[in-house]
Amino acid sequence: MTPAPPGSSDADTATGDYVYDAATRLLTRTSHGGLADDAELMVSAVAPGIHRESAPEVRHVRSSARPAPPVVRQVVPLFHWDRPAEGASRRRGNAVRVYLDRPWWSSGPGERLGVVTAPGTGDPAEALHPYLTVLGTDPSAVSTTVTPWPRSNAFPRATASRSLAPAEDPGATVTVAGHDVSFDAARDLWYSDIELRTAAGQSPASWFPFLRMALVRYQPGSLDGLWVSKTVQAPMAQLSPERTATVVRSGNVLTVTVTGPAYTATSSGTARPTIRALVEQAAPTFPDPHLRWAEISKAYTTLTATGPAGNTTWTGTVPLPDGPFADAPRRLRLTETEEHLDGHERLVYLDFLPL
């Protein structure tokens, strides 16, 4: 049997065998249809959907178990360069990136990587030492000392902090500085960036201090007393000192200045790190923007270091030689090295300033 077209309501004029009114659920046989008096017609109807709309409400279910301990894969130095002014460059250091094995979020969203620090002031109890982050100077260099037990306010990238009891000692108190984590798809690892500052918010004035971090997973949304995992010790890492470099041109002479922490003596006998300056020029026809640079002159200028270890200044003048290419871009290359006992030099700072 064929129903009348949708919208048809007059059984006398409609085509098809019957007209169905959905509002009244009434079926009427058309005047000219093929539905006989004794015919049987099976009809089924589906009621329209019923729904209600309401404002969404977010509810957090607190975690009822401790997070799993983090698995630290690697700790690497972290740098950031900026240009505070024309002819100036600043390298920010004193930071590390901690790579972590998958998975993350063992206790749900909001889980952070926590740096465990000493509570209060002064030296913490010896029983807490295995569960605390510690900082120390490089024993091979005479430099500015550091506070061995950094507090949670020394980590400016932390997004949540709390005083609590470590999982290993419910009767003790530590402070946890929680850091956000991100995913590195290329390495298939999670990571967290951790920066260290002094209590006054300044960068440490020591030469490559050693940092050993005590780390936990920290879940602020856990039930009371279950906020952190057991503590793990990250590999020892060295924090790179900050450097600020400026260059001022007067005719064909460049005045170069570099400032930052250094040392005043080492076990190898060197008095200061060595910073050298050299002028480079770009080959205009070479396509690679990184490999097109070449030294104009093989002679470099060694800058003179003065001042205390925590705030050393290197200065010098560099002649600007004629290059092989007219009007091609030039830049000043700065390299800093420290000398080891075997006579080899380690590169610790590299920067370029456009001229």
Instruction: List, for residues 6-15, the tens digit of each pLDDT value.
Output: 777 777 778 8
Q: Compute the Cα dihedral for 290, 296, 299, 302 and give only its sign.
A: negative
Angle at Cα 228 formed by Cα 223 and Cα 234, nearest 5°? 170
> What integer pLDDT is reported at residue 281 of this predicted model?
92
**Counting every residue, how long is the chain?**
355
What's phi and psi for 129, nearest 5 deg?
A: -50, -40
Say how far apart CA 294 and CA 90 lie, in whole Å: 23
d(CA 295, CA 275): 17
Q: By C-alpha distance, which of 97, 82, 310, 117 is closest to 204?
A: 310
* pLDDT one digit per residue (tens) for the chain, 355 residues: 677 777 777 777 788 887 877 777 787 888 878 777 777 777 776 777 788 889 999 888 999 999 999 999 999 999 999 998 999 999 998 999 999 999 999 999 999 999 999 998 889 999 999 999 999 998 888 889 888 999 999 999 999 999 999 999 999 999 999 999 999 999 999 999 999 988 777 888 899 999 999 999 999 999 999 999 999 999 999 999 999 999 999 998 999 999 999 998 887 777 889 999 999 999 988 888 888 998 988 889 999 999 999 899 999 999 988 878 878 899 999 999 988 777 788 899 999 999 8
Question: What are 59's two structure tokens?
Answer: 């509810």
Q: In this structure, how many other beta carbons lie within 10 angstroms of the beta carbon of residue 181?
A: 18
The whole-angstrom separation of Cα 339 and Cα 180 is: 37
Alpha-carbon span 153 to 328, nearest angstrom: 48
Q: How far apart are CA 155 and CA 174, in angstroms?
A: 15
Q: What is the pLDDT of residue 303?
A: 97
Q: Which domains does the chain have, with CATH numbers?
A: 1-45 (no CATH), 72-238 (no CATH), 243-354 (2.60.40)
Q: Which of 266, 240, 256 is nearest to 345 (CA)?
A: 266
The rounded distance, in Å, linking the Cα atoms of 61 and 310 is: 49
Cβ contact 72:336 at 8 Å: no
Q: Enter the pTM of the model.
A: 0.79
Q: How far is it, in rounded angstroms, from Cα 261 to Cα 59?
A: 49
Q: Are strands 95-100 and 88-92 parallel, antiparallel or unpaired?
A: unpaired
Q: Which token pair is 329? A: 């871009």
Model pLDDT, residue 45 = 65
| CA neighbor of 118 nearest in space, from 66, 163, 160 | 163
Q: Looking at residue 200, what DSSP letter applies?
A: T
